[in-house]
Every structure is written in structure tokens, then in C-alpha cells.
Amino acid sequence: MKRLILKQFQVATDRLMHIPGLTIPLILLLFKAIAQVAIGEKAPAIVVDTWVNHDDGDGPKTAGQVMVLDFWFTSCAPCIYTIPHLNDLTEAYKNDNISFIAITYEKEEDVSKFLSRKKILASVGTDTAYQTINNYEVNAYPTTFLIDENGILKWRGHPSLLTSDMIDALLHKKYYPQVMADQQHPAPNKELNTNHLYPITVTKNNYMQVASGIQYNTRELSIANQPLDKILTFLLKKSKSRISVADQNRYDVRFKFPKNLPPNEKNPTKVRSLLYELDYELALEQKEVSGYALHIANDSLFIRHAVDTTKAYSASGTSTKGTYWQGNGVPLQDLVDELENRFQIFVTDRTNLNGYFELKFPFKTFDGAKSYLLEQYGISLTPDQFEVEIAQVTKKHDGEKGREP
């Protein structure tokens, strides 16, 4: 294998040497940038400045141990999502021949402050010199490695994909043929469902300042440092304008999907379990509001700039670039939702248009967005009165107490 890699390196180098201005150092940097620690080969040594949560300072046992090695940092929201899952595995295998290790590039005092508020059961080490991080060529966070008792790298991927079956295979408890793999990203989510209350963990977040987010896959939903109205916006598929909730706290939420949960009950079950945990109840009510009606005022402008006949859409996407929101292959409802969320207004779609469109608008001010949509797409937003469904979230009545977060 090494002979083959060297041969490929030599051939590629010969070709690159013919590119004007490309020097040997630059060529080596290019190869270093695209290289990966190889599955099935010896894992690099784990070197840290200090072990933060080991009183003796000696760190975890590594010789002859199976190892789960996770790279993370304290302000990384996707890293925070996976801490409960890794804690579950650490607790489940605490009596087995396995060490769980978490490496961060941050200073010891910053990590210690974080750990005083958020528990990590793995052995946490700091690598401020990036020695171990560079040796494992970590270029995304979080990234987890699974190493067998002989020090051979068996798996690299997102920690949410690490399962007890994969660990059992390396502990020789069962055969798991897919343990040798390189999985960089979580598997796509499949739709799930809701009718009953299921276990959910909800805690107030008092340890993160800026980072926040929502992540879910086929096994669980993880939310870090999000206000309740934003969580409900995601779960109810409603804009914040259509959700009434007084709670301004920020929460961490973890919901493990039951295997028997049907697809059409997924979000309702999560909402019901979340609100039960926080002692809230949800009521949907129709309300007449003042807002804006969306019309197509100039058909030719809309067709010219919003309709791309060269594309066959199989998926849609939205993004922000500078001071602009952009939707690629999105229905008009996505534009309505974005306008409501950005400007805390009510919008109703009166176009009766189906299909997928290319749209964007500047979001500094509502007047700026309204003018841009009219001039660029012929989309007008005119004052109007109409009914909307409001999700009203209130405390439960006495005698219907849930549990404190």
C-alpha cells in the first residue's frame, strides 16, 4: 500500500513540476492539504499539553486499549450536540477495555470553565500546539476516530454515526462487517412521527455565549443554545410571527427517536414532549392580523429573473451572503416564511403559483427588501388584512404540572 502511494506521489509530482511558478514547498503543501490518515494503518500517537479532567494528570490508558478519539472545541455547536451521545457510550463501556478521549486546541482554563458547566465523561486533553490535531489531519469539527487495541485506525467519521455495534466489534463482542469505514457526514434524515410522549432531555443553556444550532439524524434530535420560539419555529414549521411565547430562556434539547415512531408523528411528538417537559401547553387559534399580501405585479420580470428553465430541481436550498438572503429552487412559501422571520411581520401568498424559483432580497430593512423584490422580480407586497393561525404557548393550568428543565 505504501509503495503504491509513493508511486502515485511520484507521478503526480512529475506532472505538477511542469506548472510554471509551482515550487517543491507548494507541491508538498498541496499533498498535505489533501492527504488523509488511512483507515487500516497505524494511528498516530496521542500527544496533549495536559489532561484537564484527570486529577493525577496521567491521562487515560491507551496501550492495548480500544480507543474512541474525538476532536472538538467548546464553542462548536455541532460538537456540543454530540456530547450526550458520546457520554452515553462512555458510561455504557466504563468497565470494558476501551478509552474515550476528547481533544481540543483550546487553553486549559477555557476548557475547565466549560467543563464546570457541561459534563464530558471522556478524558479531555488540550492540544494548543495542534500536534495531535495535525497528525490526524483533522479539517472539520467534530471528527471522531475509532482505533483498535493494536493501534490500527478502523473508522473515521461524525460522532453521531458511532454505534455500540461498531464498538462491540472491536471489543470482540460481536461481528460487525461495516466497522472499517470512513464516514465524514451523518446519514440523511428519514421522516419520522408523533402521538405519545417520549423521553426528552431539556436543560437551560448557561455555558455558551454565541454558538447555537439544531442537528438531527435518523436516531436523535440535538439542539444547542436555542430560544424556545426558534425551536418551535423549526418543529412547527411556522415563522416566529405566528408563534406566541413569553419564555426568553435558551435551551439544550435532546430527543431520541423511538424505533416505532411513524413518519407522520415525528414533529408533533417532539413538540408535545418538549412542552410537557417545560410545563407548557399549546393552543392553535385563528386571528385576523394586519400584514402584507404577496402578488405578482409584473409577470415578465418574474419570469425573466425568478424562473430558471435550465434547472430540474430535486432539492431546494437557502443561504445568506453578505446582507442578502437567497433561495435556490424554493417555493414562494419559503420567501413568505423568510420575510416573516426577518421582519416580524405577517405575509400571505396571493399568487397561487406552484413551482420552484430563484429568489433573493437584501435583509437590512423591510423597505429595502420590498423595493428590491418589486424592481427585480415584479413581486409586490401590499398592506392587507387576513386570518392566520397563531400557536399560543402558555403555562399549564394548576394540577397539570410537568417537570422542571
Using the 8-state DSSP alphabet, how is residue 312 labeled?
Answer: -
Distance of CA 35 to the CA centre of its chain: 25
SS3 13: helix
The parts of the chain modelled with pLDDT lower than 70 are 1-36, 55-57, 174-198, 309-316, 398-405
Quick: pLDDT tens for 297-340: 999 999 999 987 666 555 568 888 899 999 988 899 999 999 99
Q: Can you tell me the distance from the alpha carbon of 271 to that of 286, in angstroms, rounded to the nearest whole number?
A: 20
Quick: pLDDT tens for 231-246: 999 899 899 999 999 9
User: Mutual orientation of helices 266-277 and 228-236 as an angle, nearest 10°?
Assistant: 160
Phi, psi of 56 (to 5 degrees): -80, -15
For the beta sheet containing 153-157, the strands, ordered from the edge strand earlier in sequence to the opposite edge, are 50-51, 123-126, 98-104, 66-71, 143-147, 153-157, 181-183
Q: What is the pTM of this model?
A: 0.60
The rounded radius of gyration (Å) of the Cα atoms in the chain is 26
Quick: pLDDT tens for 12-47: 444 444 444 444 444 444 444 444 578 899 999 999
The answer to whether residues 404 and 276 touch, using CB atoms and an 8 Å cutoff, is: no
